[in-house]
Structure 1
Amino acid sequence: MSEINTSSTQLNDEDLQDLVASTDTGGRTPDNKNIVKLMAAVALAWSVFQIWIASPLPFVFGWGVFSSGEARSVHLGFAIFLAFLAYPAFSGSSRHKIPLTDWALAIIACLCALYPLIADASLIQSIFGTRLSDRPGAPNTYDIIVSITGMLVLLEATRRALGPPLMVVAIVFLAYTFLGPIAPELIAWKGSTLGGVMNHQWLFSEGVFGIALGVSTDLVFLFVLFGALLDRAGAGNYFIKVAFSLMGHFRGGPAKAAVVASGMTGLISGSSIANVVTTGTFTIPMMKRVGFSAEKAGAVEVASSVNGQIMPPVMGAAAFLMVEYVNIPYFEVVKSAFLPAIISYIALVYIVHLEAMKLNMQGLTREGEQKTIKDVLISWAMTLLPIIALAGGAYYLSEIYKALATSSARLATVLAIIAIQYVVFKSFKAKASEDKVAKTISTGAIILGNTIIGAFGLFFLIDLLKTHVSGDMVFAVITILILAVYIILAKISSAYPDLVMDDPNSPVVSMPETGPTVKSGLHFLLPVVVLIWCLMIERKSPGLSAFYATMLMIFILITQRYLFAFFRKSATSGMFKLGFEELTDGLITGARNMISIAIATAAAGIIVGAVSQTGVGLKLAALVEFLSMGHIMLILLWTGILSLILGMGLPTTANYIVVSSLLAPVIVSLGQQNGLIVPLIAVHMFVFYFGIMADVTPPVGLASFAAAAISGGDPIKTGFVAFFYSLRTALLPFLFIFNTDLLLMDVSFMEGVFIFVIATMAMLIFTAGTQGFFISRSKLWESGLLILIAFTLFRPGFWMDYVVPPYDERPGTELTRSMAEVDPGSQLRLLVDGQNDVGDPVTLTMVVNVPEGNTGEERVENYGLELLTQEDGSIMVDGITFDSPAEKAGFDFDQIIIDVGVPEDRPAKQWFFIPALLLLAFIIRRQRNRRDEQSRVENQMA
């Protein structure tokens, strides 16, 4: 990978694009046009292959059906071939010529990647008498030679595409599989033969061709391709312009626009570095223009761009990996990730606001008039409320619709919404002409109500089609309706001028108007709506959802220029040809964007394979337990530190794969031993959130270097400021480990709304405490109290546990009686003595969901436990029913139940919000008085 310039020299646009290419798509641009065409043709073929295997067409025609293992081989074959052609060997290597050695390596690497597919073909069996699948665990000489060669070229491709760190980590784990007998006693193992390692790592789906590469093949490629097509259609510039039209007039407006624009482009981009360059090229110079230093301007862009990786639905490919590792539906991953991501972005906007307040910055002006926040609220209501209702509330709206089982109930709900709209409108009509806040409330109520009514109408239409149209025709009818909506939106958008990409170094004459800017690209939102609908409402698989959205994007790219020209009554000749050219460019770009991701997942598979083959995870658990002395908070701190250390060299996806494979089970098991039941999704989110700091953390945060290259600031200082801005992101993982409500686990719609409001408030208060500025500059003790208030709002149960213990502790002998006393569905907490996987004694905490039953004995039996009273009176687990709740909870034979915790009736933990809010009111009053006093002094001096 090319070296990053650490000087503070500001780069031009060509240099910035080269920076993105060197880190994301490969830095080579050969002079030979035929080679360029060949590379483009291979990338195009890769995209077509991925679309083909994602579509239902292979099964319709009965041809071209690839198994998962076969598709992974082809996927890696394309990626590794392009990697050697696109990425030079060294920073000093030619960027315009491909040496013969790289051609040779590309061909050899591609053949090695395809070897599991080739060696298992019927033709091989007819020639050699045996296929690869016929000799599992018994590789022959050819298998071993090809596997060794494949591992070596993959490591070299990893070094080129991702830098030395991931390659070095993979080599260390590979070496450990061979040198296990001479390793330190704590991590020693028996070792493996060369054939055993190669068989495990290359020939079957345990190592390189394991889950990580499978996710890259089946899911990630389509989402990355969807983002590339959307960007090629013009959506990237559209999102930036919309963000500026919404936020540009606030204090520090360009910085707030950078946050919003990066969040919107983060939905379609899996690369924080590309996000920095795409949006930062425009936002960073404007931030500097309104008063931000070069380092702070770069840091804001870095923090907001890196956060794009935590935004569903793509999440830097981690969302799809979580589906496989945690074994939960993709929808649940997105639901868990949504709230923390939104809160994190809101907090970043607030950080920018506080910085602007400190320096008394002003926003960019339109027609010589400084806009206030009240002036822009209407624009926010008109544009964001429907988006939030459809994106964030799509699932809940569908659930409410389903809960209204009859047509009359649905009609009554719609009429009630109309009535509420009318009442709100009448109440604020008199004030609306003069009071902008009143106009915002009435307009917002109308728009939000219309959005809900529109969603209900859409649900009703789909239900009607499914009921009265034959199954084979439903898809065709819905497709026709979507295309009709697209044509209508294209007609609306064509009435406004195309959004031209601005020159960031030229003076800003005027800011874009919100209404025309939003309307000029409405058709870009349709594929996003289709994707969200398929994922959230229809609950289709992520791969199929992305396929449908991608096919719609392909159609839009081909036709949008023709339709715009047709509706504008201008020349339409050549527009389809231009559309096909843009489509081809988008398909090529999408494949080029995937090279480093595919290589990263394959290389990370080496590490995962070594962990599964050696069992080092159990040994690491013992090491972490020793270092943390059994304290869950220290375990989390060590995990976070390890993630940050690995994050200094590994890309986010690889970092997540490695750390989650090593430490996620450790946190769950050690938490269980310390009385904390941690859901697996919370642990994986914890690891992932620390992993995204990879592109921020000095001294090698590549996003910080990219931002510094634009701003002309110091890259190390930019990285430290960005890391400080990202503290809110580092706080969230600790919070949702101890308060899983933030992940929207087992909460209702109204509970989710309440959690969102309280958590957002707490995060803003925490941000004010860490920034040292709230209403005015905070004193040190005020900052400390603000952080304490934020903690109380985030986790009020911490204080309630001290006032009233959550459980009535009873001896284990009273399990049956306790089961009989509580209501079905209640949770008992058991303390159990048993053994871990290596036979060492361990004490575990188990949560028992009490089943139905008339007696305690019947409930114990329904739960799946068979208990035995021993001679000393203790209760031992004597048997577990197969596939019972007890087996799924982790109960095992011969465990001793030593303690039963029965839930206590106690006051709601939210009572602690009252003293926290009173303390907040006290600080607000003090700071307001201090601010007013400072204003009076300044006025007198003036």
Structure 2
Amino acid sequence: MNAVEEYHQDEAGQNLAQKLADEEAGIGRRVKGPLRFLIPGIAVVWSLFQLSIASWLILDTIFIRAIHLAFALTIVFLNFPFFKERHFGLGFLSAKRRIPVLDFMVATVACVSALYIMLDYTGITQRYGLPIGRDIVFGMTLTILLLEGARRVIGPALPVIAICFIGYSFLGPYMPDLIAFKGTSLSRFVGQMTMSSEGIYGIPLDVSATIVFLFVLFGAMLDKAGGGKYFIRLSLSLLGGFKGGPAKAAIMGSGLTGMVSGSSIANIVTTGTFTIPMMKKVGYPATKAAAVEVAASTDGQLAPPIMGAAAFIIAEYVNVPYIEVVKAAAVPAFASYAALFYISHIEASKLGIQGLPRKELPPFMETLLSGVHFLIPLLMLLYELIVKRHSPELSAFNAIWVMALIMVIQEPFKAWRNKQPLVPAFRQSIVNIFSALASGGRNMVSVALATAAAGIIVGVVALGLGGLITQVIDVLSMGNIFLMLVITALASLIIGMGLPTTATYIVMASLTAPAIVMIGGANDFIVPLMSAHLFCFYFGILADDTPPVGLAAYAAAAIAKSPPIATGIQGFMYDIRTAILPFMFIFNADLILHNITSWPQGILIFSMACFGNFAFASATQGWFIAKNRFYEVPLFLGVTFMLMRPDAVAPLLGIPHDQRYWVYPMGMALFGLLFLMQRPRMPVQNSMTAKEAFGNKL
């Protein structure tokens, strides 16, 4: 039997992983009876509304944000019960097969509260800053229900943090001198949060409403059409024959899927259910197989064009075109993935694992052609973004209609080729499109509520806390930029354990990005604002596989039947090579291509960043071409520093700054010396072949 078809699932693990994926995808209740169409129907209408405002429907931006939030709140209260499990004998608060009347009522109130700013827009603009009683009632109702909705779909962490900020905004005058704040009144709070574009209806929600939804919908359509499975088969056909082939195929497949899915858990369930069993069968221990998938799926959010929805918010905060964010993120993201390929090769060398026999792999050309139509909308998207320089929303919209056209044609074409009736196939195509529209809406619930709830924190900071936070961080770091970065990184990891990555980025960027730039300037060191925002974003991503929470690790461990904590620790060890990149590009802006306009120069920087990351991976994994000796680890770290920070090494060698790239040959020479030092110790290959690992099943 073909190796691609021969793999088994552990049912309990699969169920747990799918449960986590359902929560990530916005599936809380599976309603029975006629009402089962209600939630998908609302999600479809939401998707159609978002497609309308991207094409022909012109509305005020506040109206768009309000309607976007109203859809999200309606779905969350209809779709997610108050409790996930039964408590206190109150079964109706945890009902999963029906929608209680109470939730219908709450959903209606939440929807009206979100739309209030639109329904009374003229009156609100005329009394801006002087809310009347009705404004305060609707404003506080929206705030409370937004936090409750976020708790249901995301968990308690973000609402608790938001409540702490709200409490601080009122109790600031009573705080110790170091953190004392002049405070705010209820009228000013409501005016800021629910009657302006500086709070709940702020930039994060705007990006969610105008850009992110379309990219998430595009990813849902691609997945519904079978694009995720195609990427895995294509990756396996291309890389499965190399040493540790299934792991490399998992990395490539997860990277391709993650570029458009923007969700690490969804990525793991899409690709990991296939790749993890394959890795285990060729000899990877369960923990390492799961950890490879965790690292690959988590880092999928680093790769343009979506970057877990944060790329678009970064563009708004930094006030640059979206393509500039893609440019800045490209070198670190792809260098990180290159290093993960390298780590998978190291692990295969340690374990003596070879690739799958070529005859047992799907033929590359046949596999490529079988799904080449999936590449058309992707190429269309990249062409629109990079070549035509169209806005992200227009680019995504054009890619969506191309994807929809392909979905209409795909099933009838299969039926025609197999000599089956065309009408049922065409009907199935329409069902698939509507199913994708429903999935797109459901997938967006968590993003919409995360950005809206994070807007509360942003709004409180805008009330006057920004300067105070910078002072507090300055005191804690004692004005030391290095210590301040470490504090920011640790805070991002801790906060990110309980928040979605987009919300983590919004919170940390609001609190620390301006402080990084300001404290850097106070130390006569210029930190580009883009670097500061990417720094916060990277460590928010890494929180996804940071123990003890790391939901991505739990999802992968469920599939691999490995211990979740051990999987998270191993995944984090793999991701350490990503953790050094933010520290490097803060001090060496070349790594984000800041003021770099030459292609050869950019390619040189990328190549050296890859080799620098390889050296760091060898230092942390204890292996290059043989097991490291203790005195070789500092040399690997030296190679890393020389290839990633030539600007810091050049002055030590008396090399002018404009000639700093001469440090690169020196770093590569040291890397080559390490190769020669380890070559006599290379282990004799006595490896387990994939044929032996699979036995006669192949």
| Interval containing the TM-score (normalised by the shorter chain) | over 0.9
| Residue number in structure 2 paired with 1:890 | none
Residue from 327, 347, 351 that aligns with 2:343: 351
Report matched runs for 1:770-919 at 5 Å: 770-804=620-654, 908-919=659-670
For 1:910 and 1:54, the matched residues in 2 are separated by 45
- Residues 208/923 of structure 1: CA separation in 2 closer, same or farther (3 Å cut): same
5+ residue gaps, structure 1 = 1-8, 59-64, 122-130, 368-509, 806-904, 937-942
Task: Give the TM-score normalised by the residue count of structure 2.
Answer: 0.93
Report deviation, 1:95. Answer: 1.9
CA-to-aligned-CA distance 1:43-80 (integer Å, 9 cap, x gap): 1100000000011x23xxxxxx3110001010000001
| Residue number in structure 1 paired with 2:191 | 199
For 1:361 and 1:737, the matched residues in 2 are separated by 38
Report deviation, 1:645. Answer: 1.1
Report deviation, 1:597. Answer: 0.5
CA-to-aligned-CA distance 1:123-181 (integer Å, 9 cap, x gap): xxxxxxxx221110111111101111111111111111111100100000011111111
Report deviation, 1:680. Answer: 0.6
| Residue number in structure 2 paired with 1:677 | 526
Give the secondary structure class of the aligned counterpart of 2:12.
coil
Report deviation, 1:580. Answer: 0.8
CA-to-aligned-CA distance 1:16-53 (integer Å, 9 cap, x gap): 32221123313210122x21111111011000000000
For 1:532 and 1:917, the matched residues in 2 are separated by 33
Residue from 225, 237, 243 that aligns with 1:233: 225
Check conservation: 2:217, 2:437, Cα contact below 8 A. Answer: yes
For 2:505 and 2:116, the matched residues in 1 are separated by 28
Check conservation: 1:772, 1:780, Cα contact below 8 A. Answer: no
Residue from 451, 464, 469 that aligns with 1:601: 451
Report matched runs for 1:206-605 at 5 Å: 206-367=198-359, 510-566=360-416, 570-605=420-455
Check conservation: 2:651, 2:657, Cα contact below 8 A. Answer: no
| Residue number in structure 2 paired with 1:30 | 31
Report matched runs for 1:596-635 at 5 Å: 596-613=446-463, 615-635=464-484
| Residue number in structure 1 paired with 2:149 | 157
| Residue number in structure 2 paired with 1:77 | 70
| Residue number in structure 2 paired with 1:485 | none
For 1:707 and 1:913, the matched residues in 2 are separated by 38
Superposition RMSD on alpha carbons, in Å? 1.7
- Residues 907/693 of structure 1: CA separation in 2 closer, same or farther (3 Å cut): closer
Matched, 1:142 2:134: yes
Give the secondary structure class of the aligned counterpart of 1:574.
helix
Check conservation: 2:17, 2:269, Cα contact below 8 A. Answer: yes
For 1:274 and 1:519, the matched residues in 2 are separated by 26
For 2:415 and 2:96, the matched residues in 1 are separated by 39
Residue from 567, 583, 586 that aligns with 1:718: 567
Report deviation, 1:13. Answer: 3.8
For 1:198 and 1:79, the matched residues in 2 are separated by 21
Report deviation, 1:299. Answer: 0.8
For 1:346 and 1:148, the matched residues in 2 are separated by 49
Identity %: 46
Check conservation: 1:24, 1:271, Cα contact below 8 A. Answer: no
Q: Read off the aligned partner of 2:37 and give its amino acid letter.
A: K
Q: Read off the aligned partner of 1:159 and give its amino acid letter.
A: R
Q: Read off the aligned partner of 2:538 and give its amino acid letter.
A: Y
For 2:613 and 2:181, the matched residues in 1 are separated by 46
| Residue number in structure 2 paired with 1:99 | 100
For 1:637 and 1:768, the matched residues in 2 are separated by 23
| Residue number in structure 2 paired with 1:940 | none
Give the secondary structure class of the aligned counterpart of 1:726.
helix
Matched, 1:19 2:51: no
| Residue number in structure 2 paired with 1:650 | 499
Q: Read off the aligned partner of 1:610 and give its amino acid letter.
A: V
Structure showing greater relative contact order (alpha-carbon pairs closer than 8 Å, 6 or more residues apart)? 2
Q: Read off the aligned partner of 2:452 and give its amino acid letter.
A: A
Check conservation: 1:26, 1:83, Cα contact below 8 A. Answer: no
Q: Read off the aligned partner of 2:397 and give its amino acid letter.
A: F
Give the secondary structure class of the aligned counterpart of 2:199.
coil
Give the secondary structure class of the aligned counterpart of 1:576.
helix
For 2:297 and 2:497, the matched residues in 1 are separated by 17
Check conservation: 1:187, 1:616, Cα contact below 8 A. Answer: no
For 1:511 and 1:587, the matched residues in 2 are separated by 34
| Residue number in structure 2 paired with 1:768 | 618
- Say how many residue pairs are matched: 668
Q: Read off the aligned partner of 2:573 and give its amino acid letter.
A: F
For 1:627 and 1:10, the matched residues in 2 are separated by 49
Q: In terms of mean alpha carbon deviation, does 201-210 or 627-636 score higher?
A: 627-636
For 1:631 and 1:801, the matched residues in 2 are separated by 22
For 1:702 and 1:906, the matched residues in 2 are separated by 44
Give the secondary structure class of the aligned counterpart of 1:268.
helix
| Residue number in structure 2 paired with 1:86 | 79
- Residues 151/561 of structure 1: CA separation in 2 closer, same or farther (3 Å cut): same
For 1:673 and 1:921, the matched residues in 2 are separated by 40
Q: Read off the aligned partner of 1:659 and give its amino acid letter.
A: M
Report deviation, 1:627. Answer: 2.0
Report deviation, 1:237. Answer: 0.8
Check conservation: 1:300, 1:352, Cα contact below 8 A. Answer: yes
CA-to-aligned-CA distance 1:722-762 (integer Å, 9 cap, x gap): 11110011111111111111112222011111112111111
| Residue number in structure 1 paired with 2:692 | none
Bigger strand share: 1
Give the secondary structure class of the aligned counterpart of 2:672.
helix
For 1:13 and 1:675, the matched residues in 2 are separated by 53
Q: Read off the aligned partner of 2:107 and give its amino acid letter.
A: A
For 2:496 and 2:30, the matched residues in 1 are separated by 29
Give the secondary structure class of the aligned counterpart of 1:328.
coil
For 1:15 and 1:685, the matched residues in 2 are separated by 32
Q: Read off the aligned partner of 2:160 and give its amino acid letter.
A: V
Check conservation: 1:762, 1:791, Cα contact below 8 A. Answer: yes
| Residue number in structure 2 paired with 1:923 | 674
Q: Read off the aligned partner of 1:930 and give its amino acid letter.
A: R
Give the secondary structure class of the aligned counterpart of 1:573.
helix
Larger Rg: 1
Report deviation, 1:935. Answer: 7.3
Check conservation: 1:617, 1:663, Cα contact below 8 A. Answer: no
Q: Read off the aligned partner of 1:931 and give its amino acid letter.
A: M
Check conservation: 1:22, 1:87, Cα contact below 8 A. Answer: no
Bigger helix share: 2
For 2:253 and 2:674, the matched residues in 1 are separated by 33
Check conservation: 1:10, 1:712, Cα contact below 8 A. Answer: no
Report deviation, 1:578. Answer: 1.5
Q: Read off the aligned partner of 2:550 and give its amino acid letter.
A: G
Q: Read off the aligned partner of 1:85 and give its amino acid letter.
A: L
| Residue number in structure 2 paired with 1:821 | none
Give the secondary structure class of the aligned counterpart of 2:422.
coil
Check conservation: 1:311, 1:341, Cα contact below 8 A. Answer: yes
Give the secondary structure class of the aligned counterpart of 2:570.
helix
Residue from 541, 547, 550 that aligns with 1:692: 541
Q: In terms of mean alpha carbon deviation, does 135-144 or 90-99 score higher?
A: 90-99
CA-to-aligned-CA distance 1:369-421 (integer Å, 9 cap, x gap): xxxxxxxxxxxxxxxxxxxxxxxxxxxxxxxxxxxxxxxxxxxxxxxxxxxxx
Report deviation, 1:514. Answer: 0.8
For 1:916 and 1:79, the matched residues in 2 are separated by 52
For 2:16 and 2:685, the matched residues in 1 are separated by 47
Report deviation, 1:918. Answer: 3.2
Task: Give the TM-score normalised by the residue count of structure 1.
Answer: 0.69
Q: Read off the aligned partner of 1:39 and give its amino acid letter.
A: I
